[in-house]
Every structure is written in C-alpha cells, then in structure tokens.
Amino acid sequence: MKTVLITGCSSGYGLETARHFHAQGWNVVATMRTPREDVLPRSDRLRVVALDVTKPESIAAALEASGPIDVLVNNAGIGLLGAFEVTPMATVREVFETNTFGVMAMTQAVLPQFRARKSGVIVNVTSSATLAPMPLVAVYTASKMAIEGFTASLAFELEAFNVRVKLVEPGYCPNTSFTSNGGARMEGLIPEAYAPFAGRIFASFGQLTAVTSASDVAEGVWRAANDATGTLRFPAGPDAVALVS
Ligand SMILES: NC(=O)c1ccc[n+]([C@@H]2O[C@H](COP(=O)([O-])OP(=O)(O)OC[C@H]3O[C@@H](n4cnc5c(N)ncnc54)[C@H](OP(=O)(O)O)[C@@H]3O)[C@@H](O)[C@H]2O)c1
C-alpha cells in the first residue's frame, strides 16, 4: 500500500486531497502546522503530523515520524493580494519562505529516500496565475512561477533515478481559507491611487462563472501522482483548464 505525505492539510485543497487519497485506499500522512484530528476520518491508514514547511527542524521531525513515503504533495501555501508598490519586502520574503523555499526544503528532505529507492513522486501545487498572470498578485505569482521553473528543471534532473516531479495548477476557489488566511498580511496594501482599479478587479472575482472546487484539485493531484505518461502540468478546475485549452 502506498503512502502520501501532504503539506497544509488543515483546510482547503490539502484537506480534500488527504480525504481523496485515503478514500482510494492509500496510507496518508496529513501534515498541518497545528495538528487537528477532527477534520479527517479516523483510520489506521491516516496520521496527522505537525509540520511547518518554513522550519527545518519541523521538516526533519515530520519526516522522521512519517517513515518512508512514496509521494510528497507540496500543497501548503499563502496568498497575497495587493499593490506591489507598497508591499513591504518582509512580506515578499514571507510569501517566498512558504510558497517557494518551503517547497524546495521539503523536496530536498525527501530526495535521499526517493533516489535510494529509485522511486517516488513529488507533486507541487502552484496556481493558474502562472498560466494567465493577473494584476495585484505579482509577488504571489512570482513565488509560484519560481516553483514552475524549479519543477520543470528537476523533472529532467531526477528522471535517471525514476523520481517523477509534477505540477498541479489550480484555478480560483472562493471556498477555501485562502483569502481569510491572508487577510492580515494584505491590510493596507491597496493605497488610494490603486483603489478604483482594485475595486474593478475585486468585483470581477464575484462575476466568475467557472471556479475551482477543492475536489477538482484533489483529483488533479491524484492524477499527477499516478501519471505514467510523462506529463508535467496538471491544470485543475474548469477555469484553469480553460486557460490552456
Ligand atoms: N484558493 C485558491 O483560489 C487557490 C488558487 C490557486 C492555487 N492555490 C494554492 O493551493 C494551495 C492550497 O490553498 P488553499 O486554497 O487550500 O488555501 P488554505 O485553505 O488557506 O490552505 C492552505 C494550507 O497551507 C497551510 N500553510 C500555510 N503556511 C504553512 C506553513 N508555513 N507550513 C505548513 N503549512 C502551511 C495552511 O495551514 P494553517 O491552517 O496553519 O494556516 C493551510 O493548511 C496553496 O499552495 C495555494 O497557493 C489556491
């Protein structure tokens, strides 16, 4: 029976992905910054493990607790919506620490076991913002674009060791905790001069007819983890798929 370790399972796409792999009969290591047992089914195939992807000691302890894994899903991420002009560099670094360096650190930590076993899959969850950039998310998009380039290169580098590296590019989902989790970070990032323009952008979010659901992303991660065709990119959700059709 295969084992998947997923980062950021307290809500949203990560939580649904943990449920999906469990329902398919896999062992699941559902990792969270603050572990919560109550959001996932009770099962001897499912463990909740503490993990903050920005902390090396937390990564080491989580992998020690997990034992061997077959698939790593780098799902944990934070959002940022605001005018770049007024975004503090500390906030830029905060976004990269989780979305970019956190993914790299997790990847580096699992590679020795994957390379030694000549088997393993890494699925990196980025965003459809990398497919069609939009305004007011320049820092967020940059953090995810970095992972797109990282993953595309690494896929070639690890081919000889039979380690596969994949991208899942979800569309916009208004129903996860993504926006509320980023609320404090975004305060004051729409100055007066940007307000009319930003207002039109925010209004357009409410008019979207096709949006992504957490189950679209769980299904995309499942397909990426089990892909044997060499496909790198898995857009997930109707709005993301429309961008590449
Ligand atoms: N929702 C969207 O519209 C959308 C669109 C495209 C891509 N995405 C991407 O999809 C992924 C999941 O987002 P979501 O929509 O499901 O948002 P979400 O509900 O906010 O979930 C994000 C998860 O990441 C965790 N996380 C944040 N920082 C972390 C850290 N340092 N270490 C470990 N875990 C951390 C959060 O944990 P806490 O509960 O501890 O904060 C939470 O479990 C993210 O990579 C996001 O960039 C989202």
For residue range 169-199, what is the model confidence (pLDDT) as tens digits? 999 998 889 988 988 999 999 999 999 999 9
Residue 125, ligand 1, Cβ within 6 A: yes
Residue 11, ligand 1, Cβ within 6 A: yes
Q: Do residues 80 and 100 touch, judged by C-beta distance below 8 A?
A: no
Residue 49, ligand 1, Cβ within 6 A: no
Residue 7, ligand 1, Cβ within 6 A: yes
pLDDT mean over 139-157: 98
Which of 78, 106, 217, when mutated, tests ligand 1's pocket best, judged by the most ligand atoms within 8 Å of its CB?
78
Q: Do residues 12 and 30 touch, judged by C-beta distance below 8 A?
A: no
Helix, strand, or coil here: 119?
A: coil
Residue 168 has pLDDT above 90, yes or no: yes
Ordered domains of the chain (ranges, CATH):
3-244 (3.40.50.720)
Q: Do residues 215 and 173 touch, judged by C-beta distance below 8 A?
A: no
Asked if 194 is an active-site residue, the reply is no
**Dihedral sign of CA atoms 26, 211, 37, 168 in order:** positive
pLDDT mean over 1-11: 98
Determine the Cα–Cα distance for residues 92 and 100; give it in Å rounded to an integer.
11
Q: What is the pLDDT of residues 91-145, one digit of tens each?
A: 999 999 999 999 999 999 999 999 999 999 999 999 999 999 999 999 999 999 9
Q: Which of 119, 75, 121, 67 is nearest to 99 (CA)?
A: 75
Q: Which residue owns the Cα nearest ligand 1 atom 32? A: 52
The pTM (predicted TM-score) of the whole model is: 0.98
**Dihedral sign of CA atoms 5, 146, 120, 59 in order:** negative
Residue 200 has pLDDT above 90, yes or no: yes
